[in-house]
Amino acid sequence: MSKKYQNFINGKWTDAASGKTFENRNPANWNEVVGLFPKSGKEEVEAAVKAARSAFESWRLVPAPKRGDILKKVGDIMTARKDEIATLMTREMGKVLLETRGDVQEGIDTAYYAASEGRRLFGHTVPSELPNKFNMAIRTPIGVAGIVTPWNFPMAIPTWKIFPALLCGNTVVFKPASDTPATATMLAEILMEAGIPEGVVNLVHGGGGEVGMAIVSHPEVDLVSFTGSTAIGKKISEVASQTLKRVSLELGGKNAQIVMDDANLSLALDGVLWGAFGTTGQRCTATSRLLLHEKVFDKFMSMLVDRTNKLRLGDGLLPTTEVGPCVNEGQRNTVQSYVEIGLKEGAKLAAGGKAATDGDLAKGWFHQPTIFTEVTPEMRIAKEEIFGPVLSVVRIKSLDEGINVLNNTIYGLSSSIYTNDVNAAFQAIRDVKAGITYINAPTIGAEAHMPFGGVKQTGNGHREGGWTVFEFFSEWKTVYVDYSGGLQRAQIDN
């Protein structure tokens, strides 16, 4: 019998009103059902929003340091349960245990960072232009936050959003990806155990079309934070604009690593392997393009192909596995269709190119780590997000050409350059159009206490992580205190 999971609304675990459920299967072994989850819809969203709205009235009055204390406890419980969460996460979405542990760690870091912010959450005091008058701007809670998250970072990304939302005094309606509802449920359990009051965090399982859109269109939801594809992000932006919600979007990427001719090649090699094939390429920060200087092209390619062909695919729970499966059938189909597109466009396969079906791999959604060469900047495989283990290699002649090619996409999330030339590094920092630039490090691996987000169609200008996320989840209130005892008129000539 598969484990049956529930929604968490107003402090109670409940089924969907319809009684309907959906299954979640292990992508490394599709015979294993991880759990059955409530297939919710409008009705459950309605109940969750109502609970969040009413809980807001008391949660907003809890002092921020006290809200932070609860998040500190959340971090402690996550630390104690790190392996248990990571194991469940690997079973439900496939990435290797080393990485699911990292995903939980990112959540722990976010909890402690948010907890400490409870004792800062600074405002400003500013001199008034009038005598005997005091001016300040303070941060205030906004209301109900709708949180809609993807499956590739099932713990880290929800925590990036939920913890700062709570710390700022908002309440939450949370819809996790339907590929990773079990990890999300564990997060809700932990929040409850740490002492988050009833109704402050509500979890509703189900599809994006039903549950996600019901949250985004709900007039009582004040802000929405979403991570996912650019196509869905545009839809969310459209729907949310009808009620003028504040919306934070973290969307697609087509991240590139430049390798210059003076680079430390073995360092650059480790970087591109980790960036391109870590998490099976299923990160919005994944290295999807390698822009390789012609002077080191042949040498680097032979090192890269050799190491790529040795990567061990398998169940992420096995300690020997380096690359897990794609998350589901649809995702592997997308990867396969991009391999066909690349071949049709005239690119050549240097490694991989096929679904991996040897032995035990046959019962999972595995795909070989794949490398295309002879890729030109205008090809679709050089411009579109694939979200799988596919790396497109473009030959470059100079730094300027590398930066131009790097910028030749609608996205702008992460970027990387390997060089030992400080001038080249600083030119890249200045000219690369991306929210994140790494020097001599891969495109993946952002730290929780730094701003995270991208330019162009990767987002809409907000940043998660770091001190910047608290901007999104709080509203400025400007306060003037006039203690002169008389009417003082600003801007009026006396």
Q: Name the DSSP letter for residue 453.
A: -
**Active-site annotation holder among 106, 250, 322, 385:** 250
8 Å CB contact between 82 and 101: yes
Q: Does 462 bind ligand UN1 (CB under 6 A)?
A: no
Amino acid at 33: V
Scan residues 74-133 and list those touching ligand UN1 (CB under 6 A). 106
Site string for ligand UN1, 270-309 (x = CB under 6 A): -------------xxx------------------------
Interface residue with ligand UN1 among 11, 65, 207, 445 (CB under 6 A) is 445
Nearer to ligand UN1, 34 or 155 (CB): 155
Instruction: Kindly indicate which of the ranges 8-16, 63-71, 366-374, 443-451 contains the residues binding ligand UN1, using the contact rule CB under 6 A.
Output: 443-451
Helices (runs of H) and strands (runs of E) counted in the chain: 15, 19
Nearer to ligand UN1, 64 or 93 (CB): 93
Closest of 157, 179, 22, 159 to residue 90, by C-alpha: 179
Residue 273 token pair: 């392997």
Strand ranges across the sheet with 287-293: 348-351, 370-373, 390-396, 287-293, 255-259, 414-418, 436-439
**Active-site annotation holder among 99, 117, 284, 385:** 284
Q: Does 227 bind ligand UN1 (CB under 6 A)?
A: yes
Least Å distance, CB 81 to ligand UN1, is: 20
Phi–psi pair at 55, nearest 5 degrees: -65, -25
In sequence order, the 6+-apart residues with CB closer than 8 A to the CB of 481 are 133, 134, 135, 136
Least Å distance, CB 249 to ligand UN1, is: 12
Instruction: Kindly indicate which of the ranges 217-225, 311-319, 393-401, 439-447 contains the residues binding ligand UN1, using the contact rule CB under 6 A.
Output: 439-447
Nearer to ligand UN1, 269 or 444 (CB): 444
Q: Does 217 bind ligand UN1 (CB under 6 A)?
A: no
Burial of 264 (0-12, 13-18, 19+ CB in 10 A): middle
Secondary structure, 3-state, 220-286? CCCEEEEECCHHHHHHHHHHHHCCCCEEEEECCCCEEEEECCCCCHHHHHHHHHHHHHHHHHCCCCC
Least Å distance, CB 161 to ligand UN1, is: 12
E-assigned strand segments in 77-228: 124-127, 133-140, 144-148, 171-175, 201-203, 223-227
Number of chain residues interacting with ligand UN1 (CB under 6 A): 10
Enumerate the β-bridge partners of residue 135. Answer: 126, 480
Scan residues 319-358 and list those touching ligand UN1 (CB under 6 A). none
Nearer to ligand UN1, 143 or 150 (CB): 150
Scan residues 139-178 and list those touching ligand UN1 (CB under 6 A). 152-153
Interface residue with ligand UN1 among 108, 251, 444, 469 (CB under 6 A) is 444
Least Å distance, CB 229 to ligand UN1, is: 11
The Cα 66–Cα 9 span in angstroms is 23
Q: Is 326 a catalytic residue?
A: no
The Cα 183–Cα 95 span in angstroms is 13
Q: Is 250 a catalytic residue?
A: yes
Q: Does 387 bind ligand UN1 (CB under 6 A)?
A: no
Which residues in this chain contact ligand UN1 in the complex, by CB under 6 A? 106, 152-153, 227, 283-285, 444-446
Q: Which residues are catalytic?
A: 250, 284
